[in-house]
């Protein structure tokens, strides 16, 4: 028994199944949960219940009289409350069980019409039942691991003197360089904002304000992109973990930091998330446990151009890499993750720092096998005159005007700085080897449909 864990349980809420696994036998308890299975024998009745607090379920054993058919509609999916005593299980498959002396059905469930059936369902079917699919073992586990990953990343960043910043989701700018922005229309409330605003595509520009005072900052927040990509890795709303660091003056130091961040936070997750399977653990370890190779965009295109027969779109200098090219680099060339660095300035947003060659920018995308880009970052242009020129070349006069504050940051005590954005849902999708990003998100938003 782990007394520390057991005693720490707040009395205000009923005991969770995760916590009661640490309680001593013979403890009297009240347990709540949703029924997974029911089995009736002559003298005893058995139900497996889960409450999502961990991957573990609890067996409830009750004298058959107590759970008489018809009197108590205890069916798969129903929500029940059991009163009883924790005991060592007489059966196999579980260490502890609750011997119940009273049972209540707090939420009956019509087994015939309940969409979640015991035999399991395809991912496609479960996507039509998003208000129920978290009740499956697989989806509830994904949600718990997602929560633990966010916690691991935040706690490691805090240990490195990072401060979490809560930037706004509504912004004046639609030019952050992260794809199409959704408009927050002022049509119906013309008195509200004096002009159209946008849902943010990235917190980066706002984080740069914070980094110019607090040095090391991060944000973990939803971002929105009105792109019609019907792929297994694109969402219209997704969560991005963004770091922005003052006093970061070389691309190598930025990438060293990104590498350490991924290694340490994924390591923490692997150690602490006991329900993570060995395959995921080893995928994280092999991917992030060793230094990640770096290749410049120009060298990558040179390599790719030698294999034109492998592609639908021929790789060409000055053109963006297609996902088939990214896949080739990871799967065939590096057989693992790779940072592609120093893209042509023309392919990248206005804020990236121009390299001494005046052609490329100090940036990198991290590509993962089977996934493609999961992280994008750069040094930020900190020279006011170079930034101004880049803005004037790439942005509309109105956008330049509204970004005067961004230029000001360069004029008053600017430090060399840089940062990156990590696709949080994509990282989880990769870690757990989930085929479609829609299945690591509770209520995914994609073009063409809005429900819930």
The size of the interface with ligand 4AD (CB under 6 A), counted in residues, is: 22
Compute the least distance from the CB of residue 3 to ligand 4AD, in Å: 43
Q: Which of 327, 426, 428, 431 binds ligand 4AD (CB under 6 A)?
A: 426
Q: What residues pair up with 171 in beta bridges, in sequence order?
A: 198
Compute the least distance from the CB of residue 235 to ligand 4AD, in Å: 4
Compute the least distance from the CB of residue 379 to ligand 4AD, in Å: 10
Burial status of residue 134 (CB atoms within 10 A of its CB: 0-12, 13-18, 19 or more): middle
Q: Which of 162, 238, 343, 350 binds ligand 4AD (CB under 6 A)?
A: 238
Instruction: Answer for the pair 242, 420: CB distance below 8 angstroms, yes or no.
Output: yes
State yes or no: residue 438 binds ligand 4AD (CB under 6 A).
no
State yes or no: residue 432 binds ligand 4AD (CB under 6 A).
no
Compute the least distance from the CB of residue 371 to ligand 4AD, in Å: 8
Compute the least distance from the CB of residue 447 to ligand 4AD, in Å: 10
Burial status of residue 383 (CB atoms within 10 A of its CB: 0-12, 13-18, 19 or more): middle
Residues contacting 340, CB < 8 A, separation 6+: 295, 296, 297, 300, 321, 326, 329, 364, 365, 367
Residues 151-210 that bind ligand 4AD (CB under 6 A): 176, 178, 202, 204
Q: Which of 421, 428, 432, 444 binds ligand 4AD (CB under 6 A)?
A: 421
Determine which helix (DSSP H) or strand (DSSP E) holds 209, and give its type and residue range: helix 204-214
Q: Is the dihedral of CA 382, 386, 391, 394 positive or negative?
A: negative
Residues contacting 208, CB < 8 A, separation 6+: 244, 380, 406, 409, 417, 419
Compute the least distance from the CB of residue 450 to ligand 4AD, in Å: 16
Q: What residues pair up with 99 in beta bridges, in sequence order?
A: 61, 85
Cα end-to-end distance, the chain, whole Å: 43
Q: Which of 6, 373, 386, 447 binds ligand 4AD (CB under 6 A)?
A: 373
Q: Which of 23, 62, 345, 374 binds ligand 4AD (CB under 6 A)?
A: 374
Instruction: Indicate the Cα dihedral angle 38, 40, 41, 42, nearest 10°.
Output: 150
Q: Indicate the residue whose CB is closest to ligand 4AD.
A: 423
State yes or no: residue 235 binds ligand 4AD (CB under 6 A).
yes
Compute the least distance from the CB of residue 347 to ligand 4AD, in Å: 12
- List residues near ligand 4AD by CB under 6 A: 176, 178, 202, 204, 225, 227, 234-235, 238, 240, 242, 373-377, 419-421, 423, 425-426
């Amino acid at each position: 028994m782990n007394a520390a864990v057991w005693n720490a349980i707040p009395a205000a809420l009923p005991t969770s199944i995760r916590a009661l696994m640490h309680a001593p036998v013979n403890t009297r308890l009240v347990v709540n949960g949703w029924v997974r299975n029911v089995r009736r024998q002559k003298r005893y009745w058995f139900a497996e219940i889960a409450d999502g607090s961990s991957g573990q379920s609890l067996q409830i054993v009750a004298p058959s009289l107590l759970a008489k058919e018809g009197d108590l509609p205890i069916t798969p999916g129903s929500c029940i409350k059991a009163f009883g005593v924790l005991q060592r299980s007489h059966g196999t498959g579980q260490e502890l069980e609750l011997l119940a002396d009273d049972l209540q059905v707090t939420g009956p469930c019509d087994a015939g019409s309940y969409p979640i059936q015991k035999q399991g369902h395809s991912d496609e079917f479960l996507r039509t039942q998003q208000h129920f699919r978290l009740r499956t073992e697989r989806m509830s586990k994904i949600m718990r691991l997602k929560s633990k990953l966010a916690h691991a990343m935040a706690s490691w960043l805090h240990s490195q003197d990072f401060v979490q910043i809560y930037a706004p989701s509504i912004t004046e700018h639609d030019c952050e360089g992260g794809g199409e922005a959704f408009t927050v229309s002022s049509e119906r409330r013309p008195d509200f904002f004096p002009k159209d605003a946008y849902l943010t595509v990235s917190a980066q520009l706002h984080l740069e304000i914070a980094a110019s005072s607090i040095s090391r900052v991060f944000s973990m927040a939803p971002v929105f992109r009105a792109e019609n990509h019907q792929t297994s890795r694109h969402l219209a709303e997704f969560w991005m973990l963004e770091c922005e660091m003052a006093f970061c003056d070389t691309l190598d130091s930025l990438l060293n930091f990104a590498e350490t961040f991924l290694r340490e936070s994924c390591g923490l997750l692997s150690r602490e998330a006991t329900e993570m399977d060995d395959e995921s653990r080893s995928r994280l370890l092999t991917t992030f446990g060793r230094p990640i190779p770096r290749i410049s965009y120009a060298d990558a295109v040179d390599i790719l151009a030698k294999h034109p027969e492998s592609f639908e779109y021929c790789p060409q200098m000055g053109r963006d890499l297609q996902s088939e090219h990214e896949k080739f680099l990871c799967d065939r060339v590096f057989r693992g993750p790779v940072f592609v660095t120093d893209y042509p300035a023309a392919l990248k947003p206005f804020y990236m720092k121009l390299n001494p060659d005046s052609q490329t920018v100090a940036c990198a995308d991290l590509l993962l096998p089977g996934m493609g880009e999961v992280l994008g970052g750069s040094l930020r242009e900190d020279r006011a005159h170079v930034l101004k020129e880049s803005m004037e070349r790439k942005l509309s006069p109105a956008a330049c005007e509204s970004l005067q504050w961004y230029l000001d940051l360069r004029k008053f005590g600017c430090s060399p700085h840089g940062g990156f954005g990590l696709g949080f849902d994509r990282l989880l999708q990769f870690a757990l080897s989930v085929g479609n990003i829609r299945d690591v998100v509770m209520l995914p938003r994609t073009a063409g449909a809005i429900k819930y």
